[in-house]
Amino acid sequence: MTAYDIIMKKRRGEELSDSEIREIVNGYVDGTVPDYQMSALLMAICFKGMTPAETAALTLAMMNSGDTFTPSEELGALCIDKHSTGGVGDKTTLITAPVCAACGVYVPKMSGRGLGHTGGTIDKLESIPGFRTSLSHNEFIDTVRKAGFSVSGQTGSLVPADKQIYALRNATATVDSIPLICSSIMSKKLATGADGIVLDVKVGDGAFMKDEESAEALSVAMIDAAKILGRKCTAVMTDMDKPLGRAVGNSLEVIEAAEALKGRCPDDLFEVSMTLAAEMLYLAGKGNTDECRAMAENAITSGKAFDTFKAMVGLQGGDTKALEDYSLLGTAKRSLDILSPADGYISHISCEKTGLISLELGAGRKVKDGDIDSTAGIVFNCTVGSCVKKGDILGTLYTSSECDIDSIAEDFSRVFGISQEKPIKKPSVIKIIR
C-alpha cells in the first residue's frame, strides 16, 4: 500500500494495520516518504484519532526505528524507569532513582535536556562539577550495576523516528494529539528496555495537559500501549498548578534534591517523590503499595538513598563534595529578593510564568543548542496557602547572565496572587491509574 493510500485510509477514519503503520514510519525515516505526506498523516491522526492497537503499533514502529537496549538481560534483574511529562521545579528523578536503587531495584535512566520553560534532568546533573552524562553503553551499565542507577543522555541512534516526527508535529500544529504524544513518550521508554514504567503525568498551569480529563486520557493511552506491548505501567497524575518544591533552576534543584535525600524536603515534593518511588518498587515486585511506601521512606531516613546518589555522582565523574558544600556548585553573581506588597494568603503561584521567568534569568534554553546558566533560577520562600505580611520575602531571583533582573523582578511579582482568605489546599497527587 502506498503512503497516499495509508493517508486516505486514516482520513476516512479507518483503522491502520501494523504493517501499514510500520511501512510509513520506516519510509519517513529512510526518506522515501516526504515531509508533506507524513504531515498529512499526522493531521489525519489528529482529527480521526487512533485505536489502542494502532497507538501500540505506532509506538513499536517508532521504537524499532533505531537502537534498542535490554539492560535487564545484561544486569540479570528487572529494570524500572520513570518518566515525567514535564513541569517546573520537577527534580523527582534525582530523588526517586536513588531511593529505588537503595531498595535494590535497578533504574537505568536515559534523560533529555530542557528546552523552553521546563528543565531537563541532564542539565541539572551537569551543574555538578565534573559530572558526565555522555557515557558509553558499557559505562552506563557498569554504573547501574555498581550504584543501582545511572542517568545518561539519550544516544543519537535512539528512536530516530521520534526526533523526525516530533519536529514535524511542532511545525504542523499536531503536538497535542494523544496517540502522537503517547507513541513519542512510550517509544523512547520501551527502546531503553524498561520492564516497568511509572509515568508522572503533570496536570495544570505549568503542564502540557491543563485539565484532569485530558491528563487521564493520555495516562490511559500510555498504559494501554504498554500493556499491548507486554510491559508493566502505572500513571500517577500530579499537580502542576504551582512549581514543585521551592527551587527552580539547575544547581538550585540539585541542592533541593540533595536536601530531600537528607530528609529535609518540602511537603509537596516529598509526597510526589515517595508516591512515584513506591509505585516503581511495586512494579518491581518489592511488596504491596503500603510496604513499598514504607520502604521508600526508610531509604531516606536511613541515609541509604543519599549515599546511593553520591555513589552514582562519583562514578560518573562528579565532585561528590559539592553535595555537601553547595558553594562548589557555583554562586550566582546577582540575586534579588521579591517582597510581598500586602498582608494575606498566597492564593496562587503561576507555574508557567515561573518557568518563563527562570528561562529569562538564564536557567533554560530558548533554542535547542543554547547555553544555560547553571546558577540561575528562583527559590521560593512561600507556597500556595502560606500566610505572608507586607514586606516578607516571597522569593529570590538568581542569575549570572546578562539580563535585566529589575524588569524580570516586576514580572515575577505578578506570579503571585494574594487574598484575605486561605485557599483550599489541592492534593499533590491527584490520581493513580494502574
Q: Which of 9, 10, 22, 83 is the catalytic position?
A: 83
Give the burial string for 126-164 (b: 16+ CB within 10 Å, else e): bbbeebbbebeeebbbebbbebbbbbbbbbeebbebbbb
Q: Which of 162, 195, 268, 373 is the catalytic position?
A: 162
Ramachandran class of 348: left when φ > 0, alpha when ψ lies in -120 to 50, beta otherwise: beta
Q: Which of 10, 82, 113, 188 is the catalytic position?
A: 188
What torsion do the CA atoms of 130, 134, 136, 139 make, to the nearest 10 degrees? 40
Q: CA–CA separation, 259 vs 127, rounded Å?
A: 16
Q: Which of 65, 84, 177, 184 is the catalytic position?
A: 184
Q: CA–CA separation, 66 vs 378, rounded Å?
A: 38
Please count the CA atoms within 13 angstroms of the CA of 31 that sit on its side-chain side. Answer: 0
Helix (H, G, I), strand (E, B) or coil at 149: strand
241 is catalytic: no
83 is catalytic: yes
84 is catalytic: no
Q: Which three cell numbers stand for residue 335?
A: 540575586
Collect all residues with Cβ–Cβ distance below 8 Å to 175 and sequence separation of at least 6: 169, 181
343 is catalytic: no
Q: Which of 82, 109, 124, 169 is the catalytic position?
A: 169
Angle (CA) 113-429-354 rounded to 5° is 45
188 is catalytic: yes
Write out the catalytic residue numbers: 83, 162, 169, 184, 188
